Amino acid sequence: MDTTPQAPNPPSTAGRDKHAGYWVVGAIFALSTVLGTWFAVLLMNSEQHLWESQLQAQQAGVELDAEGCVGWAMEWRQGCTAIESLCDSTIDPIVESCMQGADRSGWCGEVKGHSGSTSFDFARCEARGVPWKKPAKGFWDRALFGGGRTTSARKACASAYRAAADWCEGRTVVEVL
């Protein structure tokens, strides 16, 4: 009887490609490059669109009153072709650019005492006919959101009125943040 230790059998490499890991890493790198390039182009196009929109708002503000500036910003938001979060965050500068186009002292005097409350925005949006909430679509909307979610038009409207009121009080977007 032979008691000398036997070397274990080497694992079988039959059927395995030794370079499969390289292919996986290469595919991930290629996909990341394509997605990164696509997002960079999307971001540059969005930036260009937002810049042009701000210039258009400045030109429109010469002829519009303050309510017209809010309406223009809401219409612009509906047709915004940039990245959605950038469109939402650009409503304030759009309204400010529009408000700078003419004298707004009459409208600013009208809203001066009321602009500090949150009901100011919502009451003005109600008067515009902007729906407050989407109707609930099933159990989870009722359970989680109390009967429906706030519409994006409502958020844009409230943001536009808040930006107009802040402009009247001499506050800029940077100061509010």
Domain annotation covers residue 130: yes
Domain annotation covers residue 3: no
* 161's tokens: 């009125």
pLDDT at 7: 66
Domain range holding 129?
Answer: 51-176
- Provide CB contacts within 8 A for 6, sequence distance 6+: none
pLDDT at 174: 46
* 118's tokens: 């949150």
pLDDT per residue as tens, the chain (177 positions): 566 667 666 666 555 666 778 888 999 999 999 999 999 999 999 899 999 999 999 999 899 988 899 999 989 998 888 888 888 889 989 999 999 888 888 888 887 766 666 666 777 787 887 766 666 666 666 666 666 556 677 788 888 888 888 888 875 444 444
- Whole-angstrom CA distances from 143 to 79, 131, 149 are 32, 20, 11
Q: Do 161 and 91 meet the contact criterion of CB atoms below 8 Å apart?
A: no
Domain annotation covers residue 43: no
Give me the number of domains the chain comprises: 1
Q: Which residue has 């759009």 as its token pair? A: 94
Domain annotation covers residue 122: yes
Domain annotation covers residue 69: yes
Q: Do 134 and 148 meet the contact criterion of CB atoms below 8 Å apart?
A: yes
Domain annotation covers residue 114: yes
Domain annotation covers residue 76: yes
CA gap 131, 122 in Å, rounded: 10
Alpha-helix runs per DSSP H in 9-81: 20-60, 66-79
Q: What are phi and psi of 138, to 5 degrees?
A: 110, -175
Identify which of 102, 35, 24 has the alpha carbon closest to the alpha carbon of residue 66.
102
Q: Which residue(s) pair with 150 in the sheet?
A: 133
Domain annotation covers residue 28: no
- Give the CA angle between residues 175, 169, 114 to the nearest 5°: 120
